[in-house]
Amino acid sequence: MRLLKTALVAGALAVLSVTTIAAYAQDTKIGFIVKQPEEPWFQDEWKFADQAAKEKGFTLVKIGAEDGEKLMSAIDNLGAQGAQGFVVCTPDVKLGPGIVAKAAANNLKLMTVDDRLVGADGKPLEDVPHMGISATKIGEAVGQAIIDEMKARGWKMDEVGAIRVSYDQLPTAVDRVEGAISVLKAAGFKTQNIFDAPQAKTDTEAALNAATVVLNAHADIKKWIAFGLNDEAVLGAVRASESVGIPADGMIGVGIGGAESAINEFKKPAATGFVGTVIISPKRHGYETALNMYDWIANNKEPAKLTLTAGALAKRDDYQKVRKDLGIE
Ligand code: FCA
């Protein structure tokens, strides 16, 4: 009789724990906040985060926060909804300590993606788990792709101008463009032929405005190269070159991203000055970060403090294959 009782209790407990786990997964709510929801890269991140939510059975709350105010109220909102954590690409990395405090006040676990938070001293907040791209390396790949294309076109480096579409308040943006510049310089490109085009926002329109200023100031230069933190930045420079009458064979732009902005460009019937992009992985940045957050909440498994992802160069003729190899399609 006692045996039977024990078996019954054990059985009941087993049933209970199974139902508890199921209920727990259902109750898990994770926020995914991005700084520029209209940008295809972030749309893709969300898409892959959704995939993780579907697989694990948690609720994903997607929020666009274009400025600090929206971000802070989004975090409060997640707290009020009973979420347990969130992944964020912040509109401003200098909000770091404020974001950490807000997350703690709402009892939310915090992980960052793409753009790493910095403290008052400008140094990264190393305690917050982060997934970003290997910015310097990817920038170097951009620089190398540009050098190779200049060679293929038989350009003399001294007659070429470089547009550095910049967003220097964001460390990953600086690392990306400086990576490109280091390769250009090593190949003999002169520093005085590199012109800074600071963009007010990280979108195509802001980059177009910034690059137009440079092109107008150096109207004597007829051959141009362009690089920046993402595809949008480089597309802005390419559009600017078109608007001042530089033909496609007078411009070499190589971006970073490989999402729809770049793909639409490659799909155009005639090649433009946007010759390539280093494709990065929205699957890792979306799916994996969401999964990391879920594991942290549900299984108490804390994410790695720092994960840096790689990129692969793609051009008009091979981007579909590169995307496939990266598991993006
Ligand atoms: C930054 C950029 C995005 C994307 C991401 C990986 O957040 O603004 O376009 O390149 O890094």
* pLDDT number for residue 26: 59
C-alpha 230 to ligand 1 mean position (Å): 6
* pLDDT number for residue 267: 96
Quick one: what percent of the chain has pLDDT higher than 70?
A: 92
Pocket lining: 115 vs ligand 1, CB cutoff 6 Å:
yes
64 has pLDDT over 60: yes
* pLDDT number for residue 2: 53
DSSP string, 200-211: SSSSHHHHHHHH
Strand bridging mode 274-279 / 312-315: antiparallel
User: Would you place residue 25 in the very low, low, confident or very high pLDDT band (cuts 50, 70, 90)?
Assistant: low
First to last CA, the chain: 60
312 has pLDDT over 90: yes
User: pLDDT tens for residues 69-84?
Assistant: 999 999 999 999 999 9
* pLDDT number for residue 6: 52
Q: Is 156 in a helix, a strand, or coil? A: coil
Ligand 1 atom closest to Cα of residue 167? 8
CB 88 within 8 A of CB 62: no
* pLDDT number for residue 284: 94
Computed over every residue of the chain, the mean pLDDT equals 93
Nearest CA residue ID for atom 6, ligand 1: 114
DSSP code at position 118: B
User: Per the structure block, which two tokens stand in for 211?
Assistant: 């690059």
CB 217 within 8 A of CB 254: no
| Strand order across the beta sheet in which 130-133 lies | 59-64, 29-34, 85-89, 109-113, 130-133, 306-309
CA torsion 127-133-139-144 (nearest 10°) is 140
162 has pLDDT over 60: yes
* pLDDT number for residue 325: 87
C-alpha 147 to ligand 1 mean position (Å): 23
* pLDDT number for residue 1: 47
Sequence-separated (6 or more) residues with CB below 8 Å from residue 222: 159, 246, 250
User: pLDDT tens for residues 281-297?
Assistant: 999 999 999 999 999 99
Report how far residue 308's alpha carbon sits from residue 229's, in angstroms, rounded to the nearest whole number.
Answer: 16
Mean pLDDT is lowest, of 11-25, 228-242, 298-312, for 11-25
Residue of 48, 230, 277 with the most ligand 1 atoms within 8 Å of its CB, for mutation: 230
User: Would you place residue 328 in the very low, low, confident or very high pLDDT band (cuts 50, 70, 90)?
Assistant: confident
Report how far residue 51's alpha carbon sits from residue 56's, in angstroms, rounded to the nearest whole number.
Answer: 9
Buried b (16+ CB within 10 A) or exposed e, 290-328: bbbbbebbbeeeebeeebebebbbbbbeebeebbeebeb
159 has pLDDT over 80: yes
Report how far residue 267's alpha carbon sits from residue 66's, in angstroms, rounded to the nearest whole number.
Answer: 29
13 has pLDDT over 80: no
Q: What element of type H or E holds 212?
A: helix 204-217
Quick one: what percent of the chain has pLDDT higher than 90?
A: 90
Among 262, 241, 269, smallest CA distance to 313 is for 262
CA dihedral for 181, 241, 216, 221, sign (positive or negative): positive
144 has pLDDT over 50: yes
* pLDDT number for residue 17: 52
